[in-house]
Amino acid sequence: MSKLFDAIIVGGGPAGSTAGLVLARKGLDVLILEKKKFPRFKLCGGMLTRKTIDFGQSIFPGFISTLELKGITEKTIESYSIKSEDRLLYHGIAQHPFILVNREKYDHLWMEQAQEAGATMRVDRAVGVDIQESRVITAAGKTFHGKFILGADGSGSRIRRALAQKTSIMPPWSKHSALAMETFVERKAVDFQDCPELFLGLVRDGYAWSFPGIKKQVVGICSSRTKNGRELKKILMNLLSRMGLPKPEHQKIQAHFLPYGDYEKLPGYKNVLLTGDAAGLAEPLLGEGIYYAHASGSLSARAIYECMNKPEKSCDVYSQFLTKIIGSMRNRLLFRRLTLGMPKSVAERSLRFLLPFIAPQLENRIQGQHTGSPR
């Protein structure tokens, strides 16, 4: 038999590298299997909320200054606008600044932290998981055994698919997931706003956004109702053209699935756990997932550490740690259905009336606060 690792983590995004960092710091023998060589591109708006910044600071001091020093911060955002197709619904001053980051560099930083703490990273793709034998088979033909297996392999998770065949866990991309599309536009192409803009009412059960970077503007859209790629692309193109882009049909548009309410209350089975997007843990209103990847990554690591002598109990322990997060996912999903899920005319009328009253509280909830720091 090959060497037995304490934990094999499949996927080295924010969820996997956070779990790897926490476990390695506790002295565990950790292997991170990541299919892409870092730094690697990740389709994302790169928006960090206050709770994500709190989390970063709780885990490594000097987090914000490191982001700035390494050129990871693209912009610090002090205000935001919420628009319908043709009018401004609300303009708010952010109660706490949002930070826009370059995801390629951001994920690389976290991976470096995990490696510095002692985690081994191997560039290889997991192609098979034997849950019974607790082993992972890779594209390079290797087999790795782990006391624990952590699926941190994103929204199309192979580990989640393997669990779905054995348990009641839903496979990835089930009904609550959304199709998301993004394009990166040269900022000089159009006179873009310098604050993030959210567009409501273009799609049901979703929204569109435009985030300012240093050189490029990220314009994107997601919907759990419109999962037809062509249809969603057409809506995004219309938005780009309304923004005044000369030839939006030449924009390179990329698509990815977003969990958006696809979470599992019991994300795993015995000693095989799911974290981040693989567990469906992206927030179901705006699709924020970076914080939830970090938070669930660290909670899964804590569950693993506490269950070193009883691995089969780790999923139950992890699910208890996730109670608060799952509760907030449920509330946001309900809120989304009552707002973004409504037909366009109803949504616009009610949001125009409600937003001035609820936007500050909503922002406060979205910004959140990270309270439980990993032990």
Ligand X SMILES: Cc1cc2nc3c(=O)[nH]c(=O)nc-3n(C[C@H](O)[C@H](O)[C@H](O)COP(=O)(O)OP(=O)(O)OC[C@H]3O[C@@H](n4cnc5c(N)ncnc54)[C@H](O)[C@@H]3O)c2cc1C
Q: In angstroms, what is the minimal distance from the CB of 122 to ligand X?
A: 9
Q: In angstroms, what is the minimal distance from the CB of 27 to ligand X?
A: 23
Helix (H) or strand (E) holding 319: helix 314-321
**How far is 167 from 223, CA to CA, in rounded Å?**
28
Closest-approach residue to ligand X (CB): 289
Q: In angstroms, what is the minimal distance from the CB of 351 to ligand X?
A: 21
Q: Is 152 in the site for ligand X (CB under 6 A)?
A: yes
Size of the site for ligand X (CB under 6 A): 38
The interface region with ligand X, picked from 39-47, 235-243, 245-253, 328-336 by CB under 6 A, is 39-47
Query: Rounded to whole angstroms, what are the CA distances from 132 to 9, 312, 364?
Result: 17, 11, 44
Count other Cβ atoms within 10 Å, centred on residue 175.
Answer: 9
Show the site string, 263-302: x = touches ligand X by CB under 6 A, - = not: -------------xxx---x----xxxxx-x---------
Query: Rounded to whole angstroms, what are the CA distances from 333 to 118, 138, 347?
Result: 38, 36, 16
Place of tokens 């219309």: 238
Say which residues have a Cβ less than 8 Å from residue 40's Cβ, sequence separation at least 6: 104, 107
Binder among 6, 8, 16, 333 for ligand X (CB under 6 A): 16
Q: In angstroms, what is the minimal distance from the CB of 357 to ligand X?
A: 26
Question: Do the Cβ atoms of 144 and 2 come closer than 8 Å?
Answer: yes
Count other Cβ atoms within 10 Å, centred on residue 352.
Answer: 17
Q: Residue 240 or residue 278: which is nearer to ligand X going by CB?
A: 278
Q: Residue 271 or residue 300: which is nearer to ligand X going by CB?
A: 300
Binder among 180, 232, 274, 329 for ligand X (CB under 6 A): 180
Q: Residue 35 or residue 83: which is nearer to ligand X going by CB?
A: 35
Tokens of 53: 């910044």
**How far is 68 from 51, CA to CA, in rounded Å?**
18
Measured in degrees and rounded to the nearest 5, phi and psi for residue 92 equal -125, 150
Q: In angstroms, what is the minimal distance from the CB of 74 to ligand X?
A: 11
Q: Is 126 in the site for ligand X (CB under 6 A)?
A: yes
Place of tokens 């849950």: 131
DSSP-derived 3-state class of residue 237? helix
The interface region with ligand X, picked from 83-91, 151-159, 236-244, 329-337 by CB under 6 A, is 151-159
Show the site string, 200-229: x = touches ligand X by CB under 6 A, - = not: --------------------x---------
Nearest Cα neighbor of 263 from 335, 165, 181, 175 is: 175
Contact residues toward ligand X (CB under 6 A) are: 10-16, 33-36, 42-47, 125-126, 152-154, 158, 180, 182, 220, 256, 258, 276-278, 282, 287-291, 293
